[in-house]
Amino acid sequence: MKRTVQVNLSGQVFTIDEDAYEVLSAYLKRIASLYDRSAGKDEILSDIESRIAELLIERKGESKEVVTIEDVAAVTAIMGNPEQFEDDSMDDTEESYRTNYSSDSSKKRLYRDSDNGIIGGVCSGIAYYFGIDPVWIRLFFGLSFIFFGSGVIFYILLWIIIPEARSASEKLNMKGEPVNIGSIGKTIEKEIGSLGEKISNSGNNFSRTSGRKIERGIDRLAHFLAEIFRGIFKVLGKVLGAIFLMIGTFTIIFMIAGIIGVADVIHFDSNDWSSSMNIYEWGDIVFTSGTWLLSAIVGFILLVGVPFLALAYGGVKLLFPRFKVPYLGASFFGLWFIGLVLSIMTAFSIGQEFSKEEKVVKTVVLSDRGLIADTINLNVGHDPFGISTNRAYYANNDFMMKVDNRRIIVGNVEFDIQQSSYSQVKLEVKKSAQAESNEEAGIRADSIQYNFSMDSSSITFDPFFSYPQMHLLRDQEVRLTLKIPVGQVVYLDPSIKRVMDDIQNVTDMFDPKMVSHYWIMNSEGLTCLDCKEGRDNEDEISIDVDNMSIDVRIK
Amino acid sequence: MNIENSKAQLRKGILEFCALALLQKEEAYPSDLLNSLKDAELIVVEGTLYPLLSRLKNAGLLTYRWEESKSGPPRKYYSLTEQGRMFYGELVSSWEELRNAVDKLVLENQPPKEK
């Protein structure tokens, strides 16, 4: 069953199949577009319509049956390919030659023939393309299924790549019927016509046409392969384009969110704190001025963002080849280069700020202050800023907070125990900072606040040191070194874990495992007094302490 | 180099002249013209004729009148204007010269073996 439509050609009414109407209407539109600019467009069109009407009446006789797609194809073949009408003197011959050539090459296209196909119509479509019986193509694919198996993948690939012939004109294109071809359609007809006719021609003529036929076959094979490759690259290109566009877009969105959004989300004031600072806060305590901060941010955005923007643009170009923004490539490069320069300048400026380091070392003789116990309990007190112990332990980074309306930066101290050559117990507090000059670095180091407290048998360390925010983040450090003489026993309270920094001991035990034990300083170094044997599997030496006798075993 | 293309180029050049020649004798409508031109193998696709007629008419060389048809759309009967006749006359003399010149050239340069 087919739908039909009624058309009026020069006053003549025709009942025409819908697919035939489509073809005819496309044909007339092509003529119209070709003569769009010439004065006689309407006249030419109406004359041609009138002639088409005559030809259709001729074909159908007086009965006026329904006009089919075959009728339209035949009539348009007689009328010819609109590009061939060009006799206008305004066209130079070079141009019309090229037009003819290009229409010649587009006479047949590769489509899947879903009407006559068995699976996807791939074989049938290819057969039409080469003008041979689909049986041969199917046989080839059938054999490749059996012998290679790879034929299956190839078939599926072709199924995906080759478009299905849906519309009437696509079907005609697939079959190579002259939807828009005049003389060439006839030439094909002639050449594909029976061999006997050709033999009856002169021998000279025969050899020429058969030679041309081979040429045509090779040409068509090349076309076929080119169409397949074009299809593959088209699909790959689109997939790649989509991936590029996605990566580029998402990265830029995340970057913008990171720079603008996060700053608002994790915003802290008063005594709240965050273990990670957002970019503004970090920038605020790193850069000497807002200008440098801005330069760093802009530099970073351009240096990192522009390549992703370019990636997204590349993706769009792959997806829509016609999409083009003039000078965008050059602009991308220019912006990226500016970003690079800004970043280098900022890095250089910051580098200068860290070029000099100064240390302020203060040694306190604890024994003189009343620390006389045989066993010293070492512990870490409550943090003065009310910071959650657990989180602060894991947060190795410095952070910023507000105390009494003063903004301060807080950092973690490092604690070590060493052997002292003196008989006294001493605590060395080493504060260090960096700056452009030694003088400035000294001022910074000096301004670091650190407290600890003690009584006769214990030392309680503050876990943090602090310094004013105006001194900026300049690698400020506080390193505590407890120097104890040989024979001194210390107990490492679990709370000290958070400040311990690679305390050397004879068993090479890791810091976190050292706590909750008694340790004695002897001539070799810190030795555990109450560690259980075999606790530390990674060590080859095991120490067993039993009633004051020390048993050292080597496994 | 495509032989069909060269032939088409040759035909295109003289198509205008031939159309005028057909109309100079008596008025005709496009289908008549097409039959004659096709018989003479001067035209391959019919569509070629219509832009040509339109161009000649716009140049004032042709005029037409409508005539009803019993079996189809009304027909346009074309005839030469006075200007068209003069134009045709000039083309005829020019064609004579050209034909003689070309014939002479081809004959003189013919390979001896050719029939």
Query: Whole-angstrom Cα distance, residue A212 to residue A229?
Result: 25
Q: Please indicate, yes or no, if residue B113 is contained in any of the structural domains.
A: no
pLDDT at residue A479, as a whole number: 92
Q: Please indicate, yes or no, if residue B49 is contained in any of the structural domains.
A: yes
- Which CA distances in Å does B84 have to A90, A166, B59, B95? 20, 50, 9, 16
Query: Whole-angstrom Cα distance, residue A268 to residue A213?
Result: 82
Range of the domain at B85: 3-108
Angle between helices B82-108 and B3-25 (to 10 degrees): 140
pLDDT at residue A429, as a whole number: 92
Chain-chain contact of A87 with B51 (C-beta, under 8 angstroms) = yes
Closest-CA residue of A relative to B72 is: A54
pLDDT at residue A267, as a whole number: 40
Contacts of residue A250, defined as CB under 8 A and 6 or more positions apart, other chains included, come to: none
Q: Is the pLDDT of residue A284 over 60?
A: yes
The helix/strand/coil state of A52 is: helix
Query: Whole-angstrom Cα distance, residue A124 to residue A135?
Result: 8
Contacts of residue A442, defined as CB under 8 A and 6 or more positions apart, other chains included, come to: A358, A360
Partners of B50 on chain A (C-beta within 8 Å) are: 44, 47-48, 51, 85
pLDDT at residue B9, as a whole number: 74
Residue type, A548: M
- Asked if A458 contacts A378 with a C-beta cutoff of 8 angstroms, the reply is yes
Residue A176 falls in which region: left (phi positive, over 0), alpha (psi -120 to 50) or beta: left
Partners of A182 on chain B (C-beta within 8 Å) are: 44-45, 47
The pTM for the full model equals: 0.42
Q: Is the pLDDT of residue A399 over 70?
A: no
Q: Please indicate, yes or no, if residue B115 is contained in any of the structural domains.
A: no
Q: Is the pLDDT of residue A434 over 70?
A: yes
Least confident of A156-170, A183-197, A529-543, B90-104: A183-197
Of A35, A53, A62, the CB nearest to B51: A35
What phi and psi values does residue A374 have, to the nearest 5 degrees?
-70, -35
- Does any CB of chain B come closer than 8 Å to the CB of residue A38? yes
- Asked if A366 contacts A454 with a C-beta cutoff of 8 angstroms, the reply is yes
The helix/strand/coil state of A366 is: coil
Q: Is the pLDDT of residue A273 over 60?
A: no
pLDDT at residue A209, as a whole number: 55
Query: Whole-angstrom Cα distance, residue A488 to residue A484?
Result: 6
Mean pLDDT value across residues A481-500: 88
pLDDT at residue A331, as a whole number: 81
Supply angle C-alpha A442, A444, A450, rounded to 5: 110
Query: Whole-angstrom Cα distance, residue A209 to residue A204?
Result: 9
Query: Whole-angstrom Cα distance, residue A174 to residue A106?
Result: 11
Diameter of chain A measured on Cα atoms: 131
Residue type, A45: L
Q: What's the pLDDT tens digit per position in A373-390?
A: 888 999 888 766 655 444
Partners of B71 on chain A (C-beta within 8 Å) are: 57, 62
H helix and E strand count, chain B: 4, 2
Q: Please indicate, yes or no, if residue B88 is contained in any of the structural domains.
A: yes
Of B48, B57, B75, the CB nearest to A84: B48
Looking at residue A164, the DSSP 8-state letter turns out to be B
Q: Is the pLDDT of residue A397 over 80?
A: no
Closest-CA residue of A relative to B49 is: A85
pLDDT at residue A432, as a whole number: 92
Chain-chain contact of A80 with B47 (C-beta, under 8 angstroms) = yes
- Does any CB of chain B come closer than 8 Å to the CB of residue A74? no
Q: Please indicate, yes or no, if residue B76 is contained in any of the structural domains.
A: yes
Chain-chain contact of B51 with A183 (C-beta, under 8 angstroms) = no
- What CATH number does residue B7 fall under? 1.10.10.10
Chain-chain contact of A87 with B73 (C-beta, under 8 angstroms) = no
Chain-chain contact of A48 with B47 (C-beta, under 8 angstroms) = yes
Query: Whole-angstrom Cα distance, residue B88 to residue B25?
Result: 11
Of A12, A43, A78, the CB nearest to B46: A78
Mean pLDDT value across residues A310-334: 79
> Which two tokens mark B73?
């759309």
- 């005819």: which residue's tokens? A24
pLDDT at residue A89, as a whole number: 38
Q: Which residue has the higher pLDDT, A540 or B19?
A: B19
Of B9, B15, B54, the CB nearest to A40: B54
The helix/strand/coil state of A194 is: coil
Q: Please indicate, yes or no, if residue B114 is contained in any of the structural domains.
A: no
- Asked if A251 contacts A301 with a C-beta cutoff of 8 angstroms, the reply is no
Alpha helices in A377-490 (DSSP H): 389-394, 438-446
Supply angle C-alpha A429, A433, A434, rounded to 5: 155
Of B50, B55, B72, the CB nearest to A57: B72
Query: Whole-angstrom Cα distance, residue A141 to residue A152?
Result: 8
Contacts of residue B105, defined as CB under 8 A and 6 or more positions apart, other chains included, come to: none
**Residue A99 to chain B, least CA–CA distance (Å):** 11
DSSP for A47-74?
HHHHHHHHHHHHHHGGG---B-HHHHHH
A540, with CB counted inside 10 A (0-12, 13-18, 19+), is exposed
Mean pLDDT value across residues A101-106: 38
**Predicted confidence band of residue A428 (pLDDT cuts 50, 70, 90):** very high
Q: Other CB atoms closer than 10 Å to residue A265's CB: what's the count?
A: 8
Contacts of residue A385, defined as CB under 8 A and 6 or more positions apart, other chains included, come to: A271, A273, A401, A403, A410, A464, A466
- Which CA distances in Å does A515 have to A6, A149, A459? 97, 67, 15
A523 alpha carbon, distance to own chain's centre: 59
Q: Is the pLDDT of residue B53 over 60?
A: yes
pLDDT at residue A400, as a whole number: 66
Mutate one of B10, B37, B45 to test the A interface: name it (highest A CB count within 10 A). Answer: B45
Least confident of A75-79, A328-332, A359-363: A328-332
Q: What's the pLDDT tens digit per position in A32-78?
A: 887 777 777 888 888 888 888 888 888 887 666 888 888 888 888 88
pLDDT at residue A201, as a whole number: 46
Query: Whole-angstrom Cα distance, residue B7 to residue A434?
Result: 90
Q: Please indicate, yes or no, if residue B96 is contained in any of the structural domains.
A: yes
pLDDT at residue A151, as a whole number: 67
- Does any CB of chain B come closer than 8 Å to the CB of residue A209? no
Chain-chain contact of A87 with B8 (C-beta, under 8 angstroms) = no
Q: Please indicate, yes or no, if residue B36 is contained in any of the structural domains.
A: yes
pLDDT at residue A431, as a whole number: 93
> Which two tokens mark A359?
């240390």
Q: Which residue has the higher pLDDT, A533 or A361?
A: A361
Residue-averaged pLDDT of chain A: 75
Q: Is the pLDDT of residue A365 over 60?
A: yes
**Predicted confidence band of residue A166 (pLDDT cuts 50, 70, 90):** confident
Residue A127 falls in which region: left (phi positive, over 0), alpha (psi -120 to 50) or beta: alpha
Mean pLDDT value across residues B39-47: 82
Q: Is the pLDDT of residue A396 over 70?
A: no
Number of domains observed in the structure of chain B: 1
What phi and psi values does residue A178 have, to the nearest 5 degrees?
-80, 80
- Asked if A226 contacts A244 with a C-beta cutoff of 8 angstroms, the reply is no
Contacts of residue A529, defined as CB under 8 A and 6 or more positions apart, other chains included, come to: A489, A517, A518, A519, A520, A545
Q: Is the pLDDT of residue A17 over 60?
A: yes
Partners of B73 on chain A (C-beta within 8 Å) are: 9-12, 50, 53-54
ipTM tops 0.90? no
